[in-house]
């Protein structure tokens, strides 16, 4: 059967990325990325996330959505735009005085790995179950997706063992500088952009997302930051709270939940739904749990 989307609905990437606990995973990824001093300078000097954190998160959500259920053409078009923007941006590391391109392969690799590790670890901790070998399959799928931002898939960790080795190799360079701590404090309680002032009364709803993102960081990372207290039982409480938050998010009707996304993301979802239906998938209950129609019992077709 011809592949109807950028990745197959039976893939591990699909199963993880459509889960609503990805909001916590995405923020956790930003917090982890900030621990790379040079990468953090690129964000600090060339990103607008401090002025428009909502926009930054929604752009990340759109990228994940497009590379998951968008068509290959949509994914490549978006990747080309991302590569073009990154190609134009430069920044200076104040510690060394060295100039960097935002699309420096080493920095792109760190950003990619911090993101996908966060997606996997948080969504599984929130309650999504993976089978034997699924973590390896996920990293292999995402190594191919990394090509969209300009990385050579052959240089990207494509298994759990390769990812562990990469993270161990970069760990000595990671630290919480002043900018990283400021970024994390901001992510815990971001400002509300002027164009979203109408949502200001709902800002307290963000607190559990930011706090859970922080508490799901690795122990060494939380120790580097030292921002939130950790009384005994914090990690067990974080896991329980994450699972409650996930259930709450999944209980929201689609027409309410989808209001957070911009129209472009929703339009791609509608187009993906039509492609999946044309390919024989049953999408009457949404994008979760889809199975290849070729594997259905004859009576169920």
Q: What is the mean pLDDT of the chain?
A: 89
Cβ(173)–Cβ(179) below 8 Å? no
Which of the residue ranges 41-45, 109-113, 199-203 has the most confident prediction, judged by mean pLDDT?
Answer: 109-113
CA-nearest of 203, 209, 184, 190 to 53 is 190
Share of the chain above pLDDT 90, in %: 66
Dist. CA 220–CA 124, nearest whole Å? 20
Residue 191's pLDDT is 64
Dist. CA 160–CA 157, nearest whole Å? 8
Residue 299's pLDDT is 38
Which of the residue ranges 193-197, 277-281, 296-300 has the most confident prediction, judged by mean pLDDT?
Answer: 277-281
pLDDT at 2 exceeding the cut of 80: no
58 pLDDT band, cuts 50/70/90, is confident
The pLDDT tens digits of the residues spanning 234-280 come to 999 999 999 999 999 999 998 888 888 888 889 999 999 999 999 89
How wide is the angle at C-alpha 175 spanned by C-alphas 57 and 165, nearest 5°? 85
Q: How many CB atoms lie within 10 A of CB 281?
A: 20
Higher pLDDT, 243 or 87: 243
Residue 255's pLDDT is 87
Q: Which pairs with CB-CB distance under 8 Å and at least 24 residues apart come from 76-82?
A: 76/148, 78/148, 79/147, 79/148, 79/149, 82/148, 82/149
The helix-helix angle for 105-126 and 234-251 (nearest 10°) equals 80
Residue 288's pLDDT is 86
The pLDDT tens digits of the residues spanning 96-152 come to 999 999 999 999 999 999 999 999 999 999 999 999 999 999 999 999 999 999 999
Residue 197's pLDDT is 59
The pLDDT tens digits of the residues spanning 137-194 come to 999 999 999 999 999 999 999 999 999 999 999 999 999 999 999 999 988 987 655 5
CA-nearest of 147, 110, 117 to 135 is 117
Dist. CA 48–CA 89, nearest whole Å? 13
pTM over 0.75: yes
Q: Which pairs with CB-CB distance under 8 Å and at least 24 residues apart come from 129-135?
A: 130/12, 134/12, 135/12, 135/159, 135/160
Question: 137 Cβ partners below 8 Å, 6+ apart?
Answer: 11, 12
């Amino acid at each position: 059967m011809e592949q109807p989307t950028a990745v197959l609905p039976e893939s591990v990437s699909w199963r993880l990325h459509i889960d609503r606990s990805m909001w916590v995973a995405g923020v956790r990824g930003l917090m982890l990325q900030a621990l790379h001093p040079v990468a953090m300078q690129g964000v600090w000097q060339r990103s607008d996330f401090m002025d428009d954190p909502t926009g930054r998160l929604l752009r990340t959500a759109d990228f994940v959505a497009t590379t998951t259920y968008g068509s290959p053409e949509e994914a490549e078009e978006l990747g080309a735009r991302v590569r073009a923007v990154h190609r134009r941006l430069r920044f200076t590391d104040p510690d060394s005085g060295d100039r960097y391109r935002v699309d420096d392969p080493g920095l792109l690799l760190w950003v990619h790995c911090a993101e996908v590790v966060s997606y996997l670890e948080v969504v599984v901790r929130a309650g999504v179950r993976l089978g034997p070998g699924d973590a390896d399959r996920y990293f292999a799928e995402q190594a191919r997706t990394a090509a969209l931002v300009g990385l050579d898939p052959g240089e990207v960790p494509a298994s759990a063992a390769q990812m562990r080795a990469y993270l161990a190799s970069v760990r000595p360079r990671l630290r919480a500088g002043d900018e990283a701590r400021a970024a994390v404090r901001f992510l815990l309680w971001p400002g509300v952009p002027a164009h979203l002032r109408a949502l200001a009364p709902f800002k307290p709803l963000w607190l559990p997302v930011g706090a859970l993102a922080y508490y799901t960081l690795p122990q060494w990372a939380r120790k580097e930051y030292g921002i939130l207290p950790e009384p005994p039982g914090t990690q067990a409480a974080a896991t329980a709270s994450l699972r409650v938050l996930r259930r709450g998010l999944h209980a929201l009707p689609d027409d309410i939940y989808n209001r957070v996304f911009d129209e472009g993301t929703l339009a791609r979802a509608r187009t993906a739904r039509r492609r999946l239906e044309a390919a024989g998938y049953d999408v009457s209950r949404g994008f979760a749990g889809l199975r290849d129609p070729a594997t259905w019992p004859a009576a169920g077709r």
